[in-house]
Amino acid sequence: MNKAGEPLYSRVLSRLKTVLPENSQISSTLIVSGSDQYPIQHLVLGKGNSQRALISAGIHGDEPAGVEALLTFLEKKFFQKYIDDWELNIIPCINPSGYNASTRENADKIDLNRKFRDTSPPQEVVFIKSLFKRAFDLDIELHEDIDSPGYYLFQKEAEPISPLGRNILNEVSKIMPINLEEEIEELPAENGLLAHLSNPDEMEWWPMAIYAFSKGCKKVFTLETATKLPMDMRVRAHLKAIEVALDNF
């Protein structure tokens, strides 16, 4: 709940209603989580353009900076310079029930980002998977890490790995520190970049990023800001990462 007692996700929906650009397309898909229904919002800007990006946040409900970054991206009209070339598919919050409760899992205590290989996944995951009927060129997923001292990212694409992930980190480093640990999430990291990821066929479960890659997405980025740092800094870091990715694809 916010200070006025309004559910946090209701506030997200209210802000979206006030910022929807002209010529945008928005769809709302009702999902059941726990004992309640929630509308997941899918906004499309520049519909029909040849380059397609999916930008999402809030798959973990206790990671609010990504949600705030996408609302800011819309409110400040940062999208405008891209919609002549890109079709931007924006999902500000994948996990509304978790966002309301500030929990990683949804109301059914399911970590949605572990269910993309399941044959009968939760409704939130079914909805996301339905968007991949046509492949995206770029998938950007906004996350946070409560234990990290700084920003880092996962980069998944067909070999050879492009310099785009490193370019993102170089620019983000002007806003917040980069996580320089040699191992992050039990994987080798190079100055905040994790690109040597497992073969999807070898993985027991898939996060959304691996599903996107399996469906033909050319470049997939999971962006992790540091929860312990100020919200404004986290939002600016995510916005800079989105900008660099779209400008340098």
Instruction: Please report whether residue 17 resides in a domain.
Output: yes
SS3 string of 13-77?
HHHHHHHCCCCCEEEEEEEEECCEEEEEEEEEECCCCCEEEEEEECCCCCCHHHHHHHHHHHHCC
Question: What type of residue is 90?
Answer: I
Domain count along the chain: 1
Query: Which pLDDT belongs to residue 6?
Result: 64
Q: Domain of residue 48: give its range.
A: 8-248
CATH of the domain at 134: 3.40.630.10
Instruction: Please report whether residue 1 resides in a domain.
Output: no
Instruction: Please report whether residue 3 resides in a domain.
Output: no
Tokens of 180: 């320089």
| Inter-residue contact 41 to 91 (CB < 8 Å) | yes
Q: Against a cut of 0.85, is the pTM above it?
A: yes
Instruction: Please report whether residue 2 resides in a domain.
Output: no
Instruction: Please report whether residue 237 resides in a domain.
Output: yes
Q: Residues 6 or more apart from 163 whose CB is under 8 A from it?
A: none
The pLDDT averaged over each successive group of 10 residues in the chain (249 residues) is: 64 89 82 94 95 98 98 96 96 97 97 96 97 96 98 94 97 98 95 87 90 96 98 98 98
| Inter-residue contact 137 to 51 (CB < 8 Å) | yes
39 strand-pairing partners:
30
Quote the longest CA-to-CA distance of the chain: 51
Query: Which pLDDT belongs to residue 154?
Result: 97
Query: Which pLDDT belongs to residue 159?
Result: 84
Instruction: Please report whether residue 120 resides in a domain.
Output: yes
